[in-house]
Every structure is written in C-alpha cells, then in structure tokens.
Amino acid sequence: MARAHRRPPGRGVEWEFETLVLPKDFSRNVVTRMLVERAEHGGWELDRLRIGNDGKRRVVLRRKIIRQRLTLFAG
C-alpha cells in the first residue's frame, strides 16, 4: 500500500517520498484524517494527489531528510 523512496541528491533540500494508493471506497473524511495523522506524527506533507478514472487516490507525501553533521571537539 505504501512505498517510500528517495530522489537523488540535488542542490538544496533533500526529500524522502512515500506513495500511497487508497481505494475509492475510503471517504474524503477518512483520507483527510489519515493524511493529517501522517503529517502531525510523521512529519509528512502532501506533494501531490491524483484521483484516477477507477476512483483510486494516488497520494505522494514528502518530508525533508535532515542529515546530522559530525562535530569534533578539540580537547
């Protein structure tokens, strides 16, 4: 149901993407609650949403990849 991938590093911010395919029998309210939950607890934001001819929703979420930098302390 969900598939996560990363785009190759470019200039600036790096993003991680997750693709969801939701069946047409999920109501709009259920989908909204699901996406809000992922945004609040997982740090995801909506990148794109498409509704196909078959009624399935294809949702792409993204979030920033935060890299830790190595710090060395001279002591």
Residues 14-72 pLDDT 10s: 899 999 999 999 999 999 999 999 999 999 999 999 999 999 999 999 999 887 777 77
Q: What is the structure's pLDDT at 9?
A: 54
Cα–chain center distance at 75: 42
Torsion angles phi and psi, residue 22, rounded to 5: -110, 135
Largest CA distance in the chain: 64
Whether pTM exceeds 0.75: no
Is the pLDDT reported for residue 73 higher than 80? no
Q: What is the structure's pLDDT at 26?
A: 96
Residues paired with 3 in a beta bridge: 19
